[in-house]
Amino acid sequence: MSNQTGQSLERVKQAINAASLESGRAPGSTNLIAVSKTFDANAIRPALDAGHRIFGENRVQEAVGKWQELRREYLGIELHLIGPLQSNKAKEAVQTFDVIHTIDREKIAKALKSEMEKQGRNLPCFVQINTGEEPQKAGVSPREADTFISYCTRETGLSVAGLMCIPPVEDAPGPHFALLQKIAERNNLDQLSMGMSADYETAIRFGATYVRVGSGVFGARNYT
C-alpha cells in the first residue's frame, strides 16, 4: 500500500518533468499538488515520507482534523484549498490552508480578506474561472473574469497569484487551458492551476504552474 503511493508519486513527477521538457519549459516550473481528499492521514503519510509537501483538499471540514495531525509530524507542508468555499468557513479556511484556489464571488473574496487581516496571514489566491460556462459549476464566467480579478486585487486587496479551472468532463481540455492562459496573460497573472490525473500533461503544454493530481497519486477514491 504505502510503497504504491510512493511509486505513483514518483511516476507522476517523472511524467511532469517529461511534459515540461517536451514543451520547452524548465524542469520544476510545474508544481504537483497531491490531492488527498477522501484519504485519511495513514494513506497520506507515505507521500510525506517520500518527501512530498504540497497537498490539496476540497473540503475545509475534512482537511482541518487530518492536517492538524500531519502538521505536527511533518514540517514544511503547503496545503491548497481546491474546493468551493462558503463564507461561514472563511475563518477555518484561513487557519488551515496556505493557498486558496476557488475565489469566484465578491462575498467570498471579502470574507477571506477580512479573515486574513484578523489572523495576520496573507494567503496567495487563485480566481476560479468556469471556462465551460457550466451552470452547475463554480467559477466566474470568462466574460466577467477581468472585472472580477480587478475587483479582487484593487477593491479587496487579496493577493491574486493566478487562475484556476476545471474543464467540462466531456470536452477536450486543451481549449479550456488555452482560454485560462489567455485570461491570465492579459491580467498579468503568472500562475495557472489546471490539469488533473487525466489531463495534467496537456495542462503543462498550456503553461500550468500547478497541476492537481489525486487518483494518479493515491489511487481510486472511495466515497462511501
Ligand X SMILES: *Cc1c(COP(=O)(O)O)cnc(C)c1O
Binding footprint of ligand X on the chain (CB under 6 A):
35, 37, 58, 82-83, 166, 196-198, 212-216
**At 156, phi and psi to the nearest 5?**
-95, -20
Measured from the CB atom, the residue of 39 and 147 that comes closer to ligand X is 39
Measured from the CB atom, the residue of 57 and 115 that comes closer to ligand X is 57
> Nearest residue to ligand X, using CB?
214
Give me the least distance between CB of 220 and ligand X, in Å please: 8
Measured from the CB atom, the residue of 40 and 117 that comes closer to ligand X is 40
CB 67 within 8 A of CB 96: yes
Give me the least distance between CB of 25 and ligand X, in Å please: 21
Measured from the CB atom, the residue of 52 and 212 that comes closer to ligand X is 212
Give me the least distance between CB of 160 and ligand X, in Å please: 18
Give me the least distance between CB of 7 and ligand X, in Å please: 16
Measured from the CB atom, the residue of 103 and 213 that comes closer to ligand X is 213
Give me the least distance between CB of 209 and ligand X, in Å please: 15
Neighbours of 92 (CB within 10 A): 15
